[in-house]
């Protein structure tokens, strides 16, 4: 086992073993947490560096010069919405962004009191549930606006300036004037950039459309927002009320001026080690054939955990600080790697995303090898992977 992981082992032992999808945290009991005397993580797990998460948020807040509305939808991009939101409270965010009512309910039940904006359009039948959880919907059609306005609760107007996904088209906002004058006016208005990281005119075009849409509103909203992580990075100081960072918070660079801190680490145990003779194959379809005798290790992680099948014969894993290629197709529960030139024993910890010694594999590298976006990779980390949270002091 590499020196870095070997040194960390006593600390890891404090965290116990979780059953499927149950978080672990030193000193905090959780339903489903197994005996602390058991090995820390028997199979595979995700480590989330909350200190790095907060540092990423602080960098974006400083660059934007306005408060943040962190996007914690999809269980905070697969890293745990409740723990992530609590960690980000220290940055005094304006609120939090989610996509479903269930996500908002989870945050409320966990004691989050800040505004929670739901960015996916709600059906009429969903409005009562949103009201009960004090969620702020983002609305874009007259019928839903009229129904929600009966509650007297805040809402934000969704304006489509080119994404063509949700919200009222920018050139039709004026048609809502009568509705907005006889109902509760929107607390906020927003749009979403489709290509903020591109060096073209798309963002400027969307901003021009947004400005025209805002000028056609009969009442000016208190809050106006548009920027995602990439827009903040590429633009710098914001001209809006708050910024809505997402993937940068979770350790993925968008190509801008800031250097992100890695947040998520994916690790798995070596559970089998064998010599594969010259000419023999590894995994389904025999896509890997040994040239000479090869030493092959099996990791207790597969595509059911979110380590994608497409990484077969493409991915790279760290074992004891050295890179080892994925050998053959990634299977549902196990992944084989070629460790012929790497010191390796059963029980060793392999790093599929993260750092081991002087070597590091980030989310973007793995996503590129799998022909995925980093968003897909992070949100695809499955619920049966236990989570181990590191505070800033632990990191």
3-class DSSP state of 283 = coil
The b-or-e profile of 137-169 (16+ CB within 10 A means b, else e) is bbbbeeebbeebbeeebbbbbbbbbbeeebbbe
CB 304 within 8 A of CB 332: yes
| CA-to-CA separations, 385 to 22, 114, 330, in angstroms, rounded | 8, 29, 17
Measured at the alpha carbon of residue 335, what is the angle toward residues 332 and 341, in degrees to the nearest 5?
Answer: 175
> What is the rounded CA–CA span in Å between residue 349 and residue 132?
45
288 is catalytic: no
- Of 341, 339, 363, residue with least CA distance to 352: 363
> What is the rounded CA–CA span in Å between residue 389 and residue 87?
11
Q: Please pick, among 143, 220, 239, 284, the residue that the annotation labels catalytic.
A: 284
> What is the rounded CA–CA span in Å between residue 117 and residue 95?
7
> What is the rounded CA–CA span in Å between residue 298 and residue 105?
40
Residue with tokens 């000028």: 215
Q: Please pick, among 73, 77, 250, 307, the residue that the annotation labels catalytic.
A: 73
143 is catalytic: no
Burial of 176 by CB count in 10 Å (0-12 exposed, 13-18 middle, 19+ buried)?
buried
CA dihedral (222, 226, 231, 232) in degrees, to 10, reads 20
| CA-to-CA separations, 339 to 274, 350, 360, in angstroms, rounded | 10, 11, 17
Q: Note the residue count of the chain.
A: 395
Q: What is the DSSP letter of 88?
A: H
> What is the rounded CA–CA span in Å between residue 88 and residue 51?
10
Here the tokens at position 102 are 């269930």
Here the tokens at position 306 are 């979110």
| CA-to-CA separations, 337 to 51, 66, 264, 282, in angstroms, rounded | 31, 46, 21, 10
Here the tokens at position 367 are 């996503």
Q: Mind telling me the catalytic residues? A: 73, 284
């Amino acid at each position: 086992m590499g020196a870095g992981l070997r040194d960390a082992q006593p600390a890891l032992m404090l965290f116990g073993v979780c059953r499927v999808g149950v978080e672990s945290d030193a000193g905090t009991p959780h339903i489903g947490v197994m005996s602390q005397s058991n090995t820390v993580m028997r199979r595979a797990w995700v480590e989330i560096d909350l200190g790095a998460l907060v540092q990423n948020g602080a960098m974006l807040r400083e660059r934007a010069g306005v408060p943040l509305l962190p996007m914690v939808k999809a269980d905070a991009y697969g890293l745990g919405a409740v723990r992530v939101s609590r960690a980000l409270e220290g940055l005094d965010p304006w609120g939090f962004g989610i996509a479903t009512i269930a996500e908002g309910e989870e945050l409320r039940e966990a004691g989050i009191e800040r505004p929670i904006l739901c960015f996916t359009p709600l059906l009429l039948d969903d409005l009562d549930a949103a009201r009960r959880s004090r969620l702020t919907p983002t609305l874009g059609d007259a019928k839903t606006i009229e129904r929600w306005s009966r509650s007297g609760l805040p809402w934000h107007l969704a304006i489509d300036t080119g994404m063509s996904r949700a919200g009222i088209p920018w050139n039709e906002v004026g048609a809502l004037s009568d509705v907005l004058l006889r109902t509760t006016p929107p607390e906020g208005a927003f749009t979403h950039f489709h290509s903020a990281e591109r060096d073209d005119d798309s963002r400027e075009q969307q901003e021009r459309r947004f400005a025209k849409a805002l000028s056609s509103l009969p009442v000016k909203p208190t809050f106006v927002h548009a920027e995602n992580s990439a827009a903040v990075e590429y633009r710098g100081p914001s001209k809006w009320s708050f910024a809505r960072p997402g993937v940068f918070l979770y350790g993925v660079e968008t190509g801008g001026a800031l250097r992100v801190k890695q947040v998520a680490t994916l690790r798995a145990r070596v559970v089998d080690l064998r010599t594969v003779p010259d000419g023999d194959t590894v995994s389904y379809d025999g896509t890997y054939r040994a040239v000479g005798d090869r030493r092959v290790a099996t990791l207790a992680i597969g595509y059911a955990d979110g380590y994608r099948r497409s990484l077969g014969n493409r991915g790279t894993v760290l074992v004891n600080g050295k890179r080892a290629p994925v050998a053959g197709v990634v299977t549902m529960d196990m992944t084989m790697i070629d460790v012929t030139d790497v010191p390796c024993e059963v029980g060793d910890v392999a790093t599929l995303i993260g750092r081991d010694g002087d070597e590091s594999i980030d989310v973007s590298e793995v996503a590129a090898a799998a022909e995925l976006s980093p968003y897909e990779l992070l949100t695809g980390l499955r619920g049966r992977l236990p989570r181990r949270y590191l505070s800033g002091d632990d990191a």
